[in-house]
Amino acid sequence: MRNKDCEKYPKNLKYTKTHEWLKIEERKITLGISYFAQEQLGDIVYVELPKIGMEVKEQKMFMEIESSKAVSKIYSPCKGKIVAINKKLGENPGLINSDPYGEGWLVEIEIMSLVLPDTLLDSICYENFLKEEIKDD
Amino acid sequence: MTKIWRFLDTGKNPGVYNMALDEAILEILEQGKTAPSLRLYQWSPACLSLGRNQGLKTINLGSCKKLGIDVVRRPTGGEAILHWDELTYSVIMPRENPSLSLKELYFLINRALIEAFYSLGIKTELHCLKESLKNPNCFLSAGLADLCCHEKKLVGSAQLRTRGAILQHGSIIISHKPEILFSVFRFPSKKLKKEEFSTFSKKATSLSEIIGEINLTDLKKVLLAGFQNVLNLEFFEGKLTGDEILETEKLLEKYKKLNWEIK
């Protein structure tokens, strides 16, 4: 079930053009997929989470999500190491749909460098990017 | 604007090769080294393909072995399909900007299939089974990816989406072999197996059940025309590139294992 009250694009987060969100706290990044992304995917039925300790590279695939018979690869926006995974998603992958910025988080990444990619968007830029995408549709 | 795509007819091959090749084309396309493609193919020996994340509990591997049926895991989602008397299509295309959502792509490709089947005298529709069903057997489950005739499932499709490209493949059933199909699954009870078997003919159909004998060449021709018209394409008959052949060989090792992990 979708949480209609959840803020669509919280201002305290950064976003990527591939629709991930990032909560940045010094060297720790919590990552999930945006409200738009989960809506596009539909009901999520399976999440293949990475192992804790796995090294991730910027723009490299590191996990998969399945919905509507489609497997979608998820890419890391930065270089780092997986330090936590949301184990609740194993039992209840639908949390990504119902609470994408809360209980539906995917992983925590410890980053090596404090310099983050300059392609990250704030919520206003991300919403404008989405408007362009939808307009072009 | 008309787009130029490659048409590949790769004939009959083992499941491991078929899945490795679909993924190889996707990878090479993502690198910008090959053309978007429509591929038609069949499976020899017969093969049970499992969804990317499907568990093995409901699959009777012993029975598959006894019957000479290969088992392979697809890179795409969904449930198990028995590739016995059928034709598989795969579409490998770039994610353009804006990229088609998964629902939009299912819809678009299903429209191409609807047009193809219509020219064979078969009326198919997008919304088939009224309820959304979950079952390890693809042809007893139903969702937005499916195409039906008289509310019975005829084609089951699935996708793999990467950052730069999309693979959608689907199974067009020429004829079902329910006795064989039901022997490759495990059921919690004989009663349930009997129940599902008796309702199977009400939920799934095949081209031969609808119009009798099918000429495979004609089927391929109408599919090509359907994709050409609906997606506004022009096809050239292509061959696999050296990169695709090499990548397929690499991926064969991955698909030989039934359970692979992300690396």
pLDDT above 70: percentage of residues in chain A: 93
Distance CA A83, CA A102 (A): 18
Q: Residue A70: give its domain's CATH number.
A: 2.40.50.100
Is A83 part of a structural domain of the chain? yes
Amino acid at B136: P
Do A96 and A135 form a contact (C-beta atoms < 8 A)?
no
Mean pLDDT calculated for residue range B175-186: 95
Determine contact: B63 vs chain A, CB below 8 A.
no
pLDDT of residue B9: 98
Is it the case that residue B221 has pLDDT exceeding 90? yes
Is A52 part of a structural domain of the chain? yes
**Which three-class secondary structure state does DSSP give residue A134?**
helix
Is A46 part of a structural domain of the chain? yes
Minimum Cα–Cα distance from B260: chain A residue:
A48
Chain A stretch 110-129, residues whose beta carbon is closer than 8 A to a beta carbon of chain B: none
pLDDT in tens, B230-245: 999 999 999 999 999 9
**Which one from B64, B128, B138, B149 is the annotated catalytic residue?**
B138
pLDDT of residue A137: 47
pLDDT of residue A31: 97
Mean pLDDT calculated for residue range B153-175: 96
Do B65 and B46 form a contact (C-beta atoms < 8 A)?
no
Is A134 part of a structural domain of the chain? no
Is it the case that residue B220 has pLDDT exceeding 50? yes
Is it the case that residue A48 has pLDDT exceeding 80? yes
Cβ of A59 within 8 Å of Cβ of B163? The answer is yes
Query: In chain B, what are the domains?
Result: 3-256 (3.30.930.10)
Structure confidence at residue B141 as a pLDDT band (50, 70, 90) = confident
- Strand A80-85 and strand A107-111: the pairing is antiparallel
Strands annotated E in A34-106: 44-48, 55-56, 61-67, 70-75, 80-85
Determine contact: B52 vs chain A, CB below 8 A.
yes
Mean pLDDT calculated for residue range A66-78: 94
Is A9 part of a structural domain of the chain? no
Structure confidence at residue A6 as a pLDDT band (50, 70, 90) = low
pLDDT of residue B132: 56
Cis preceding linkage at B14, omega within 30:
no
pLDDT of residue B263: 55
Distance CA A71, CA A93 (A): 14
Q: Which of A42, A71, A133 sits opposite B103 (nearest CB)?
A: A42
pLDDT of residue B143: 75
Domain that holds residue A48: 14-125
For chains A and B, count residue pairs whose Cβ atoms are closer than 8 Å.
77
Q: What is the ipTM of this complex?
A: 0.91
Is it the case that residue A2 has pLDDT exceeding 70? no
Task: State yes or no: is B138 an active-site residue.
Answer: yes
Determine contact: B163 vs chain A, CB below 8 A.
yes
Number of domains in chain A: 1
pLDDT in tens, B102-140: 889 999 999 999 999 999 999 999 865 555 567 888 877
Is A133 part of a structural domain of the chain? no
Minimum Cα–Cα distance from A19: chain B residue:
B163
Is it the case that residue A113 has pLDDT exceeding 70? yes
Distance CA A115, CA A58 (A): 12
Tell me which of A18-22, A77-81, B18-22, B126-130 is least confident: B126-130
pLDDT of residue B83: 98
Amino acid at B93: M
